[in-house]
């Protein structure tokens, strides 16, 4: 049950059902179709776990060493474990809200907002949508910054080694953000980019590639420090030559039971990986841990290995940008079509023949709107090129309402938990505690951005 499906994806599925002569209210279950008339779901604990791990292990893992450095050896890992528990617990509450009413035969909620509307309704649906789409827009900004940092790192390491360490190789991030933006403008015009089946495979390979390289280099640096006082960093490095959605899970057993098992498994794996990356990075760099772990190794050998890791980040983020932007694209395009149903600029599809392929349907509104979206996110990224503070702010803004507050409120409504009962009080205390932490984290990130702006000048940032 994720925002990645979007309302556009739901419309596509509806058209597919209609082409097969299947009603939205179909109640028959066969070997090919489920009780709602959709294609038979085949997802299991293992496939769900794999998708969650792929979605969660992303570029943010590279900032964990910096995050732990802000808290220290005791508080850092402790906070990480606590948030892992909260994430698992609230995800389990959310899984119970996939069906409204009976957990086995009740009405399915295909997207997060559908679940909110079924269980809460009213203003909370609008609040959920607003926060979701703002978070998606912020994610686009964060991905643009992260991609530019990795592209600059590739250029800088090669420049440094070509000059024999004599050239400081200061590089502006602006050309790389513009290049990334141009790439995203092109990819944004590909229909249903987020539904390309091989996209998740590439994302998984890329995320594990750069995360594993960062972890390995961190281990190497720590090992070199304690195993031999005569080996320097360069000599040590020469030894070393990542949405699941409940709507894909089969039933029986109930989707909620399967998802809870998958969540427990995936949270356990990702927490262990996060702890390793964060703690080994902090052990390697201490209080000077960089916001992006890989930039800490930027001037050392093997620089080609760092280039591979940074290239993997860029490839991953090119696709991830589109996946997270598609729901926002679909929302605005659907709203415009409903607002001005007869406007040809908005609804007309111009068929452009492509030799050897089926014609491409060009929509002028889609072309203009998506291009403007990418340009705006790129310009904001150039104004705020601070990876760790931007990532922290995005996480703080989205964590409490989307991960804690709404799942808790939906669960209370779904299970009809009595107000002021012991269970109700415990759930509210959890929500309030997470709210306080989110506010503190957001304040810290904003303070970080303010400090960064005192050092960096907009459109003149160099690395």
Q: Please, which pLDDT band fits residue 214 given cuts at 50, 70 and 90?
A: confident
pLDDT at residue 239 above 70? no
pLDDT tens string 322-370 = 878 888 898 899 889 988 988 888 888 888 888 888 888 888 999 999 9
Among 83, 84, 127, 92, CA closest to 437? 83
Averaged pLDDT, 250-276? 79
**What distance in Å separates the CA atoms of residue 87 and residue 274, rounded to the nearest whole number?**
14
Contact status, residue 320 vs residue 150, Cβ threshold 8 Å? no
* Mean pLDDT rounded to a whole number for the chain: 76
pLDDT at residue 237 above 50? no
Picking from 71-85, 152-166, 221-235, 254-268, which range would have the lowest pLDDT averaged per residue?
Answer: 221-235
Contact status, residue 77 vs residue 279, Cβ threshold 8 Å? yes
**What distance in Å separates the CA atoms of residue 238 and residue 10, rounded to the nearest whole number?**
50
pLDDT at residue 29 above 60? no
pLDDT at residue 301 above 80? no
**What distance in Å separates the CA atoms of residue 329 and residue 192, rounded to the nearest whole number?**
10
DSSP bridge pairs for 99: 108
The reported pLDDT for the residue numbered 300 is 56
Picking from 67-76, 164-173, 410-419, 420-429, which range would have the lowest pLDDT averaged per residue?
Answer: 164-173
The reported pLDDT for the residue numbered 38 is 66
- Tokens representing residue 404 in the block: 């804690």
**What distance in Å separates the CA atoms of residue 23 and residue 32, rounded to the nearest whole number?**
14
Report percent pLDDT > 90 for the chain. Answer: 10
Q: Please, which pLDDT band fits residue 25 given cuts at 50, 70 and 90?
A: very low
Task: Answer with the residue of higher pLDDT: 457 or 213.
Answer: 213
pLDDT tens string 387-413 = 667 667 777 777 888 888 888 998 898
Q: Please, which pLDDT band fits residue 5 given cuts at 50, 70 and 90?
A: very low
pLDDT at residue 456 above 50? yes
The reported pLDDT for the residue numbered 66 is 81
How far does Cα 138 stand from its chain's mean position? 11
- Tokens representing residue 251 in the block: 């039933």
The reported pLDDT for the residue numbered 112 is 78
DSSP bridge pairs for 360: 352
Averaged pLDDT, 97-126? 80
Residue 352 burial class via C-beta count within 10 angstroms: exposed 0-12, middle 13-18, buried 19 and up: exposed
- Tokens representing residue 206 in the block: 């890329």
User: Tokens 């090669």 sit at which residue?
Assistant: 158
Question: What size, in residues, is the chain?
Answer: 463
Task: Answer with the residue of higher pLDDT: 198 or 128.
Answer: 128
Q: Please, which pLDDT band fits residue 176 given cuts at 50, 70 and 90?
A: very high
Residue 86 CB coordination number (10 Å): 17
Q: Please, which pLDDT band fits residue 229 given cuts at 50, 70 and 90?
A: very low
The reported pLDDT for the residue numbered 242 is 27
pLDDT at residue 194 above 70? no
pLDDT at residue 462 above 80? no
The reported pLDDT for the residue numbered 168 is 65
Radius of gyration of the chain (CA): 23
Contact status, residue 40 vs residue 33, Cβ threshold 8 Å? yes
Among 97, 95, 132, CA closest to 115? 97
Q: Please, which pLDDT band fits residue 6 given cuts at 50, 70 and 90?
A: very low
User: Three-state secondary structure along the chain?
Assistant: CCCCCHHHHHHHHHHHHHHCCCCCCCCCCCCCECCCCCECCCECHHHHHHHHHHHHCCHHHHHHHHHHHHHHHHHHHHHHHHHHHHHHHHHHHHHCCCEECCCCCCEECCCHHHHHHHHCCCHHHHHHHHHHHHHHHHHHHHHHHHHHHHHHHHHHHHHHHHCCCCCCCCCECHHHHHHHHHHHHHHCCCCCHHHCCCHHHHHHHHHHHHHHHHHHHHHHHHHHHHHCCCCCHHHHHCCCCCCCCHHHECCCCCHHHHHHHHHHHHHHHHHHHHHHHHHHHHHHHHHHCCCCHHHHHCCCCCHHHHHHHHHHHHHHHHHHHHHHHHHHHHHHHHHHHHHCCCCHHHHCCEEEEECCEEEEEECHHHHHHHHHHHHHHHHHHHHCCCHHHHHHHHHHHHHHHHHHHHHHHHHHHHHCCCCCCHHHHHHHHHHHHHHHHHHHHHHHHHHHHHHHHHHCCCCCCEC
Evaluate if pTM is beyond 0.75. no
Averaged pLDDT, 183-189? 92
The reported pLDDT for the residue numbered 457 is 64
Task: Answer with the residue of higher pLDDT: 214 or 29.
Answer: 214
Task: Answer with the residue of higher pLDDT: 12 or 394.
Answer: 394
Task: Answer with the residue of higher pLDDT: 192 or 115.
Answer: 115
The reported pLDDT for the residue numbered 11 is 47
pLDDT tens string 48-65 = 676 676 666 666 777 788
| Strand 350-354, strand 107-108: pairing | unpaired
């Amino acid at each position: 049950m994720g925002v990645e499906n979007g309302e556009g994806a739901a419309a596509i599925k509806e058209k597919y059902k209609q082409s097969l002569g299947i009603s939205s209210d179909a109640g028959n279950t066969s070997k090919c179709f489920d009780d709602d008339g959709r294609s038979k779901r085949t997802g299991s604990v293992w496939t769900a776990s794999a998708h969650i791990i792929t979605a969660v292990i992303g570029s943010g893992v590279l900032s964990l060493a910096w995050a732990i450095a802000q808290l220290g050896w005791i508080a850092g890992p402790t906070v990480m474990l606590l948030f892992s528990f909260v994430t698992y617990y609230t995800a389990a509450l959310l899984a119970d809200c996939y069906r409204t009413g009976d957990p086995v035969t009740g009405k399915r909620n295909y997207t997060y907002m559908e679940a909110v509307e079924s269980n809460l309704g009213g203003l909370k649906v609008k609040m959920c949508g607003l926060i979701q789409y703002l978070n998606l827009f912020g994610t686009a900004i964060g991905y643009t910054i992260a991609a530019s940092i990795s592209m600059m790192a590739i250029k800088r390491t090669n420049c440094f080694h070509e000059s024999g360490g004599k050239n400081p190789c200061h590089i502006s991030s602006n050309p790389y953000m513009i290049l990334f933006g141009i790439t995203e403008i092109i990819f944004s015009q590909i229909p249903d980019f987020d539904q390309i089946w091989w996209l998740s495979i590439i994302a998984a390979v890329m995320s594990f590639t750069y995360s594993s390289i960062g972890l390995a280099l961190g281990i190497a640096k720590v090992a070199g420090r304690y195993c031999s006082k005569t080996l320097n960093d360069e000599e040590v490095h020469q030894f070393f030559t990542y949405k699941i959605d409940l709507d894909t899970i089969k039933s029986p057993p109930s989707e909620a039971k399967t998802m809870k098992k998958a969540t427990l498994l995936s949270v356990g794996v990702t927490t262990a990986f996060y702890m390793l990356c964060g703690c080994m990075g902090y052990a390697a760099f201490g209080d000077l841990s960089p916001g992006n772990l890989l930039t800490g190794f930027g001037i050392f050998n093997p620089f080609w290995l760092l280039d591979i890791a940074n290239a993997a980040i860029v490839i991953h983020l090119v696709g991830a940008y589109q996946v997270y932007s598609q729901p926002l694209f679909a929302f605005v395009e659907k709203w415009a079509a409903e607002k001005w149903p007869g406007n040809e600029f908005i609804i007309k599809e111009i068929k452009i023949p492509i030799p050897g392929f089926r014609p491409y349907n060009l929509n002028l509104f889609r072309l203009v709107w998506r291009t403007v979206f990418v340009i705006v996110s790129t310009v904001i990224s150039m104004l705020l090129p601070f990876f760790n503070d931007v990532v922290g702010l995005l996480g703080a803004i989205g964590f409490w309402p989307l991960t804690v507050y709404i799942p808790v409120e939906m669960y209370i409504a779904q299970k009809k938990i009595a107000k002021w009962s012991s269970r109700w009080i415990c759930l509210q205390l959890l929500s309030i505690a997470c709210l306080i932490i989110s506010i503190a984290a957001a304040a810290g990130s904003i303070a970080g951005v303010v400090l960064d702006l005192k050092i960096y000048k907009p459109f003149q940032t160099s690395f």
